[in-house]
Amino acid sequence: MLGNFSYHNATKLYFGDDSLRFLNDELPKYGKTVQLIYGGGSVKKNGIYDAVINILNANGKTVVEDAGVMPNPTADKLREGVKLARDNKVDLLLAVGGGSCCDYAKAVSVSVNCDEDPWDKYFLRFEEPDCEIIPVGCVLTMAGTGSEMNAGSVITNHDQHLKIGHVFGDEVMPKFSILNPRFTLTLPKRQMVSGIYDIFNHICEQYFSGEDDNTSDYLAEGLMKSLIHSSLIAVADPQNYEARSNIMWTATWALNTLIAMGKETDWMVHMIGQAVGAITDATHGMTLAAVSLPYYRSIMRCGLKKFVRFAKEVWQVCPDGKTDEEVAAEGLAAMEQWMRTIGVAMNLRELGVTEDMLEAIADATILLDGGYKQLTREDVVTILKESL
Amino acid sequence: MLGNFSYHNATKLYFGDDSLRFLNDELPKYGKTVQLIYGGGSVKKNGIYDAVINILNANGKTVVEDAGVMPNPTADKLREGVKLARDNKVDLLLAVGGGSCCDYAKAVSVSVNCDEDPWDKYFLRFEEPDCEIIPVGCVLTMAGTGSEMNAGSVITNHDQHLKIGHVFGDEVMPKFSILNPRFTLTLPKRQMVSGIYDIFNHICEQYFSGEDDNTSDYLAEGLMKSLIHSSLIAVADPQNYEARSNIMWTATWALNTLIAMGKETDWMVHMIGQAVGAITDATHGMTLAAVSLPYYRSIMRCGLKKFVRFAKEVWQVCPDGKTDEEVAAEGLAAMEQWMRTIGVAMNLRELGVTEDMLEAIADATILLDGGYKQLTREDVVTILKESL
C-alpha cells in the first residue's frame, strides 16, 4: 500500500549546457555577501571558478572564499566554515562542486545561527535546526549524490571514526541548483563511475524494501534502466553529452525524496559504506559498490519477491523454468556484470581495507531497520568479510 | 539529447487517508477570507464539504461560497468567480473537487487583479498574468488531470465553441494540495475510468515525441506500467485503496512537468479531444479515449522507433520474427485491449457525436507541432471520421 506522506521540494533547477547564466537571475534575490564554497581547485583549472566569479562580480557581490572542501567534508572543516560565515555575516552560501560541497554548504547553513557544536547537535544527536537558516545555492560539477535537490548532509569525524548523514527538513534544501552536464565532462573517469554507482545504489536503497507494486517502485525501475543505458554509453565515451546529461538528471531524481514516497526504505549499504569511508576515507560510491553485492546476496531470500521483480524488470531475466531464487540470483549476477563493465570497486581490498580493520568498521556501522532483514553486528562483520 | 530546461514545482502535497487534517497547518498561512470552490454537490453528499467547512470554521475563516463549477468550467462561470473574489477581497481560493475545480481556481487566481477579460487575455491571447495572483489550495476528490500540482487551466467558451488550455508559469501552481485517495472511492465508475484514461493520455502526449532514450521516457514508462497495473485492479474492485492510491499518485506525476523535461511533447490528442468537448460537453477523458487510437495509428509510421519501444517496454510485445511495423501495431492493439477492458469510450458516437459535427470539431481543433507528424485540418477530419 502507498502509505501516508507529505511531499515538498521547492528547489529551483536550471539544467543544460548554458544554465550557468541563470545565476544572474538568482543572485539578486539574496544579500550582498556570498560565501563561495569549493573543493581542491579543479574548478580553477577547468574555468568554472572564473565563470562563477565573473557573474558574482557583475552582480556586485562581496565574495568570501571558502576553499578546500574535501571529498568527505569533516566536522573540523564545518566549524571553520561556520566561523567564516559568522565573521562575514554572509547572505548566501554558494557551493560550486559535487555533493561534498553541497552537503557541506547545507551543514554550514543550519549552523551559522546555532550556538551549539554542529557535529554534536546535528550528526550525533540528529536534532533539527531551531535557528535561522542561511540560504544555499549550488553549481553542480559532478553527478551522483543528489545533494543538489535534497536536504541531506553527510559529515565525517575522523577523531571519532564516524561518517554520519542527516536528512534535514525541506527548508534546508538548496533554493536553487544549476546543473550543467558539460561541467561534469572534465571529471576523471573513476570519479564519474563512482558517481554512477552512487546513483544506482540510492535507487536500490529505496527500491529493496516493502512488498508492494507501488508507483514509487515503477519510477525507481525507470531510473535504474535509464542509468544502466546511459552509463554504458558514458563509460565507452565519457565525452558523450547525451549520456552525461541523462546521468545527471537521473542522479537528481534518484535522491530527492520522490521514489521513497509512501514506502519503507533500506539504507544499510550506505551505513556500511559510510563506516568504510570513516575508517579509510575511500571514495563514497566505491565504498558502496564494494559492499553491495555481499549485502544483497545476504538478504535476497528475505525479500525474494522484490529481487525476482528486479531481475525481470531491470535486467530482463527470463523466468521460464527457473525457481524464484534462481531468477533473483540471475538478477544480482547481471548487476555484478554491469558493475564490472563500468569499472567500480568490486571488493574492499581495492580501497585499502585489510582484515584487521573489519571490527572497527562494524563498530562504526549504524544498524537501521526498514530492509528485508534486520542486521546484527555479526551480520555486518560477515558481509564485510565477504566484501574483502 | 536531454535539452535545456528549468524545473520548479513548489506545490506542497499531503497524501494519504488522513491528509485532510493538514489543512489546519496550511490555513494559518493565509488571510481571513476563503473562497470555497466546488462542483455540483457530490461533496455535500459524501461528507467532504462538511469536513472542510469544520476545519475552515475552526481556523476562524470567513467562507465565501462558490458552488456549481461544471465539469468543463466556462468563461461565464470564470467571470462570476472573479467578481465574487473581488467583491469579497478573498485571500485564498480553496478548490474542493476534481481537476475542473482546480483549473477554475487557477483561472480565477490570475484574473482577480486583472482589468481585462480573462477569457480574452489568457485563453484567446495566451498572455501571462501581470498582476498579483491570489493563492490557490486544493482538496482533490478525483484523480486524473494532475491540476493539483501544475499551472494548467482549461476553460470552455460555449458561445465560441472553444475549449482552451493555458499552462501558466510556476507561480500559478497551487500552494498546497491535499490528496486523500479515500475521497475518490465514491466516484461513479465511469468517472474513475475517464480519469484513468486522462492520466494515460497525459503520459502518451509527452512520451510520443522525440527519438531519444532519455530519462523522461524511462520515467514515463514507469508511470504507464504502474497505471496499467493499478487500473486493472481498480476496475475489478473500485474500493481497492491500494490501487486507487497508486492511481492518484500516478496522476500527479503524469502531468506536473517532470516527464516533459528536456524533450518535445505532442498534445494533439488533447487538442482534438478538447474540440470534441467544446462541441459536445462530453467528459474530458472519454473524448481523449475516443480519438487516441485513430490518431496514434495515423502517426505510427512517422515515429516508428518510439512505438516499437512502447510495444516492447509497456506491453511486453515480443519482437522476435516481426517487422518494426508489426511490433508497433501489436503495441497499439494491446493498448486497445486494455482500453476495452477498463471500459473507456471507444468511439465518438458513444459521446453523442454525429457525422455532421465533424467539420465544426475540426474547426475548433488547434493544430500544434511537436509530434511525429504535423497535422493538417484534413488530417484531423480523417482522424475524426475514423473515430466515429
Instruction: Look at residues B229, B247, B249, B238 and name the one whose alpha carbon lies nearest to residue B189.
Output: B238
On chain A, the residues whose CB falls within 8 A of the CB of B253 are: 215, 219, 258
What CA–CA distance (Å, rounded) separates A267 from A251?
17
Share of chain A above pLDDT 70, in %: 100
On chain A, the residues whose CB falls within 8 A of the CB of B173 are: none
What CA–CA distance (Å, rounded) separates A275 from A161?
8
Residues B120-174 have pLDDT tens digits of 999 999 999 999 999 999 999 999 999 999 999 999 999 998 989 999 999 999 9
- Yes or no: say if B306 and B190 are a contact pair by the CB < 8 Å rule: no
Q: What is the pLDDT of residue A211?
A: 83
How many Å lie between the alpha carbon of B93 and the closest alpha carbon of chain A?
20
Share of chain B above pLDDT 70, in %: 100
Residues A202-241 have pLDDT tens digits of 999 999 999 888 999 999 999 999 999 999 999 999 999 9
Kindly state whether A8 is in contact with chain B, defined as any CB-CB distance less than 8 angstroms: yes
Three cell numbers at B290?
475516443
How many Å lie between the alpha carbon of B157 and the closest alpha carbon of chain A?
34
Kindly state whether B246 is in contact with chain A, defined as any CB-CB distance less than 8 angstroms: yes
Kindly state whether A12 is in contact with chain B, defined as any CB-CB distance less than 8 angstroms: yes
Q: What is the dihedral of CA B99, B100, B103, B105, to 10 degrees?
A: -110
Does A8 sit within 8 Å of B9, measured CB to CB? no
Which pTM was predicted? 0.97
What CA–CA distance (Å, rounded) separates B251 from A176?
26
Q: Which residues contact B160 (CB under 8 A, 6 or more apart)?
A: none
Burial class of residue B48 in the structure, from the number of CB atoms within 10 Å of its CB (0-12 exposed, 13-18 middle, 19+ buried): buried
On chain B, the residues whose CB falls within 8 A of the CB of A245 are: 1-2, 262
Does B250 sit within 8 Å of A262, measured CB to CB? no
On chain A, the residues whose CB falls within 8 A of the CB of B214 are: 226, 242, 246, 249
Q: What is the pLDDT of residue A92?
A: 98
Residues A112-132 have pLDDT tens digits of 999 999 999 999 999 999 999
Q: What is the pLDDT of residue B386?
A: 97
Pairing of strands A5-15, A62-66: unpaired
How many Å lie between the alpha carbon of A9 and the closest alpha carbon of chain B?
6
**One-letter amino acid for residue B373 of the chain:** K
Judged against a pLDDT cut of 80, whether residue A1 lies above it is answered with no
**Residue keyed to cell 536531454:** B2
**Residue keyed to cell 473507456:** B344
How many Å lie between the alpha carbon of B118 and the closest alpha carbon of chain A?
29
**Which A-chain residues 191-230 have CB contacts (< 8 A) with chain B?**
212-215, 217-223, 225-226, 229-230
Tell me how many residue pairs between chain A and chain B have CB atoms under 8 A apart.
136
On chain B, the residues whose CB falls within 8 A of the CB of A13 are: 6-8
What CA–CA distance (Å, rounded) separates B194 from A251?
34
Three cell numbers at A272?
556500511
How many Å lie between the alpha carbon of B223 and the closest alpha carbon of chain A?
7
Question: pLDDT grade, residue B212 (50/70/90)?
Answer: confident
Does A1 sit within 8 Å of B245, measured CB to CB? yes
- Yes or no: say if A307 and A315 are a contact pair by the CB < 8 Å rule: no
Instruction: Look at residues A292, A224, A26, A283 and name the one whose alpha carbon lies nearest to residue B221.
Output: A224
Q: What is the pLDDT of residue A376?
A: 97
Q: What is the pLDDT of residue B211?
A: 84
Which chain B residue is nearest to residue A19, measuring alpha carbons? B4
For A205-242, b/e burial (b = at least 16 CB within 10 A) is bbbbbbebbbbbbbbbbbbbbbbbbbbebbbeebebbb
Q: What is the pLDDT of residue A40?
A: 86
Q: What is the pLDDT of residue B157?
A: 95
- Yes or no: say if B180 and B252 are a contact pair by the CB < 8 Å rule: no
Q: What is the pLDDT of residue A213?
A: 85
Which chain A residue is nearest to residue B245, measuring alpha carbons? A2
Quick one: how far is CA A137 from the chain centroid?
Answer: 17
Pairing of strands B62-66, B5-15: unpaired
Judged against a pLDDT cut of 90, whether residue B264 lies above it is answered with yes
What CA–CA distance (Å, rounded) separates A210 from A367?
18
Q: Which of B53-62, B159-168, B236-245, B344-353 has the lowest mean pLDDT?
A: B159-168
Judged against a pLDDT cut of 80, whether residue B1 lies above it is answered with no
Beta strands in A52-110 (DSSP E): 62-66, 92-97
- Yes or no: say if B218 and A218 are a contact pair by the CB < 8 Å rule: no
What CA–CA distance (Å, rounded) separates A275 from A362?
7
Does A246 sit within 8 Å of B2, measured CB to CB? yes
Share of chain B above pLDDT 90, in %: 96
Which chain B residue is nearest to residue A219, measuring alpha carbons? B222
Residue B138: in which H helix or E strand, if any? strand B136-140
Three cell numbers at A263?
514506502
Q: What are phi and psi of A266, to 5 degrees?
A: -135, 110
Q: Which residues contact B174 (CB under 8 A, 6 or more apart)?
A: B11, B95, B102, B105, B106, B136, B137, B138, B148, B149
Instruction: Look at residues B120, B146, B118, B96 and name the one whose alpha carbon lies nearest to residue B253.
Output: B146
Question: pLDDT grade, residue B351 (50/70/90)?
Answer: very high
Nearest to A7 among B13, B18, B217 (CB): B13
How many Å lie between the alpha carbon of B230 and the closest alpha carbon of chain A?
9
- The whole-chain average pLDDT of chain A stands at 96
Q: Kindly report the number of other CB atoms within 10 A of residue A53's CB atom.
A: 16
- Yes or no: say if A151 and A109 are a contact pair by the CB < 8 Å rule: no
What CA–CA distance (Å, rounded) separates B376 from B15?
43
Share of chain A above pLDDT 90, in %: 96
Angle B29-B35-B40 (CA atoms, 0-180°, nearest 5)? 135
Residue B184: in which H helix or E strand, if any? none
Q: What is the pLDDT of residue B105?
A: 98
Residues B280-327 have pLDDT tens digits of 989 999 999 999 999 999 999 999 999 999 999 999 999 999 999 999
Q: If you count DSSP H runs as helices and E runs as strands, how many of each does chain B have, helices first?
A: 15, 8
Residue range A67-91: average pLDDT? Answer: 97
How many Å lie between the alpha carbon of B7 and the closest alpha carbon of chain A?
5
Q: What is the pLDDT of residue A2?
A: 84
Nearest to A8 among B13, B225, B249 (CB): B13
Q: Kindly report the number of other CB atoms within 10 A of residue A60's CB atom.
A: 9
Residues B25-71 have pLDDT tens digits of 999 999 999 999 999 889 999 999 999 999 999 999 999 999 999 99
- Yes or no: say if B248 and B199 are a contact pair by the CB < 8 Å rule: no
Q: What is the pLDDT of residue B173?
A: 98
- Yes or no: say if A257 and A172 are a contact pair by the CB < 8 Å rule: no
Q: What is the pLDDT of residue A281?
A: 85
Q: By three-state DSSP, how is residue A209 classified? A: coil
Does B226 sit within 8 Å of A222, measured CB to CB? no
Does A13 sit within 8 Å of B8, measured CB to CB? yes
Nearest to A249 among B17, B215, B241 (CB): B215
Residue A270 CA: distances (Å) to CA of A275, A278, A287, A310, B160: 8, 12, 9, 20, 60
Kindly state whether B22 is in contact with chain A, defined as any CB-CB distance less than 8 angstroms: yes
What CA–CA distance (Å, rounded) separates B107 from B122?
8
